[in-house]
Amino acid sequence: MSFRDESGGEDGRSSSASDLRKPFLHTGSWYRMSAAGGGAMDRLGSSAYGLRDSSISALLCTLIVALGPIQFGFTCGYSSPTQDAIMADLGLTLSEFSLFGSLSNVGAMVGAIASGQIAEYIGRKGSLMIAAIPNIIGWLAISFANDSSFLFMGRLLEGFGVGVISYTVPVYIAEIAPQNMRGALGSVNQLSVTIGILLAYTLGMFVPWRILSVLGILPCSILIPGLFFIPESPRWLAKMGKMEDFESSLQVLRGFETDISAEVNEIKRSVASSRRRTTIRFAEIKHKRYSVPLMIGIGLLILQQLSGVNGIFFYAASIFKAAGLKNSNLATCGLGAVQVVATGITTWLTDKAGRRLLLIISAIGMTVSLLVVSVSFFVKDNIQEASHLHSVMSMLSLAGLVAFVLAFSLGMGAIPWIIMSEILPVNIKSLAGSTATLANWMTSWLITMTASLMLNWSNGGTFAIYAAVSMGTLLFVCLCVPETKGRTLEEIAFSFR
């Protein structure tokens, strides 16, 4: 078994293999300047000159691809507010609806397996285009479903698209972002996921489930035309040997008045270094330069899900009912709003406080809050319901759940995806990134499928187990995770050698 570096010829000399891997969506020539700085740029008017004088295009590109994670979140949140209506309209049993909810994870596993190779062979933009199409078809299938077969098929297609999006978007953002903005722009990925979840929760309270599925088409319907107006990842173009497109793409991302020569040379050196060894034998994965970033990337993404966050959100309504809250749907929307706000704070803090510090704070907060919830349920289950202490424990468990979501969103929600996209070496990025994403989705599926059984066994015991995992996460971060703030991707890769 080997990891292969799919790279083309150097300095514009395309090999036959490279010719087969031209960008699915070309970077375009609308932003290229002639030697005199005129030509097409002059004809495009003030919008082009806005890009010439500013480096905001990396932010604009991030906001366009962020439509993909909004779709991701909308898919995750769709099943919660629609459960009763879908079961009544289509005559589904609870087990059939549970299968419907879990099929998005199954589809995402397939998408995760394919995502690295798709993004490697046809580019980051091309893979997002491929991810958008099955999402649209899947939502239409759900909207017109008259039985479970169309419903299940649509959910699988959505899941496939989400699996590709969950790998490609953080990688694209990491590859286009300036090093001083990479953390903030990378956090936009998770922020968009939480916005999508909140939209599904909120709209689901007012809109019938078929119309809600039609609304789910909108993010990807806007994403597809938006992809034609953003450049391809310059690092991917350099790896493919498309040096003219690479420099043009980097120039528009940094601003037309910015001197990019130092960054161009650094990326070229990194690409040339990765080409010296195009095949990596399985036995060589044990070397530090590959094994450490692989362990960190996969470990963080698995621990993110083992905290139980998806199980808590999936069964939030029943957890709130067990805690004694009557309007559980409204409380679930409130929990989603808390997650959006906290993730927004993370977006602002990531490049200021650093990734590692936020992960440590997040893990500590998760551990403490989950212990509070666990103890609250243990006490509440062993006292009389009419007692004053029972109501106090109910409120304490709700406060603990809110604190857990806050703590998770401050670090473990967004930062594992950022670090995964930053630390994986370029010559194993496609396969290693797919493996890390697959591990995340498999763990998510495991947690979602077991959460209901565990909560039926013991509310307090379930949260105690999640608290123990969060304590393990804290130890893992303290012992293994490096700080990547303020370092280029090339510097990060070199640090593992």
pLDDT of 94 above 90? no
Q: Which of 180-189, 334-343, 369-378, 444-453 has the lowest mean pLDDT?
A: 444-453
Please indicate whether residue 33 or residue 353 has the higher confidence score (pLDDT).
Answer: 353
What is the per-residue pLDDT for 275?
59
Can you say whether the dihedral through the CA atoms of 397, 328, 409, 293 is positive or negative?
positive
Report the topology of domain 58-231+279-495: Growth Hormone; Chain: A; (1.20.1250)
pLDDT (mean) for 479-483? 92
What is the per-residue pLDDT for 285?
64
Tokens 């997040």, located at residue: 362
- The three-state secondary structure class of 485 is coil
What is the per-residue pLDDT for 281?
53
What is the per-residue pLDDT for 214?
95
Tokens 């091309």, located at residue: 126
| pLDDT, tens digit, 9 for 90 and up, residues 256-305 | 778 888 888 988 887 776 655 555 555 556 677 778 888 999 999 999 99
Confidence class for position 494, pLDDT limits 50, 70, 90: confident
What letter represents residue 402's amino acid? V
pLDDT of 55 above 70? no
Confidence class for position 22, pLDDT limits 50, 70, 90: very low
What is the DSSP-derived secondary structure letter of residue 282?
A: G
Helix (H) or strand (E) holding 2: strand 2-4
pLDDT (mean) for 334-358? 90
| pLDDT, tens digit, 9 for 90 and up, residues 170-212 | 999 999 998 888 888 999 999 999 999 999 989 988 999 999 9
Confidence class for position 456, pLDDT limits 50, 70, 90: confident
Q: Tell me how far apart the 2 most distant CA atoms of the chain are, in Å.
A: 82
pLDDT (mean) for 121-144? 94
pLDDT of 38 above 60? no
What is the per-residue pLDDT for 6?
41
Q: Which of 37-51, 146-160, 325-339, 474-488 has the lowest mean pLDDT?
A: 37-51
The alpha carbon of residue 187 and the mean position of all alpha carbons in its chain are separated, in whole angstroms, by 9
Written as six digits, the tokens of 469 are 């995992």
Rounded CA gap, 131 and 282, in Å? Answer: 30
What letter represents residue 237's amino acid? L
pLDDT (mean) for 160-164? 95
Average model confidence (pLDDT) across the chain: 83
What is the per-residue pLDDT for 276?
52
Please indicate whether residue 94 or residue 409 has the higher confidence score (pLDDT).
Answer: 409
pLDDT of 322 above 60? yes
Write out the DSSP string of 357-369: HHHHHHHHHHHHH
- CA angle, 411 then 304 then 315, to 5°: 105
Please state the domain extents for the chain. Answer: 58-231+279-495
| pLDDT, tens digit, 9 for 90 and up, residues 407-444 | 999 999 999 999 998 888 777 777 788 889 999 999 98
What is the per-residue pLDDT for 46?
44
| pLDDT, tens digit, 9 for 90 and up, residues 102-112 | 889 899 999 99
Q: Which of 116-125, 199-208, 320-329 has the lowest mean pLDDT?
A: 320-329
What is the per-residue pLDDT for 280?
55
Rounded CA gap, 154 and 136, in Å? Answer: 9
Please indicate whether residue 164 or residue 259 has the higher confidence score (pLDDT).
Answer: 164
Can you say whether the dihedral through the CA atoms of 158, 308, 420, 486 is positive or negative?
positive
Please indicate whether residue 14 or residue 257 has the higher confidence score (pLDDT).
Answer: 257
Helix (H) or strand (E) holding 396: helix 388-409
Please indicate whether residue 322 or residue 210 has the higher confidence score (pLDDT).
Answer: 210
pLDDT of 2 above 60? no
What is the per-residue pLDDT for 284?
58
Helices and strands, counts by H and E, the chain? 23, 2
| pLDDT, tens digit, 9 for 90 and up, residues 350-369 | 888 889 999 999 999 999 99
Write out the DSSP string of 424-440: S-GGGHHHHHHHHHHHH
What share of the chain has pLDDT > 70, as a percent? 84
C-alpha distances out from residue 342 to 160, 375, 414, 418, 440, Å: 28, 25, 11, 17, 22
pTM beyond cutoff 0.75: yes
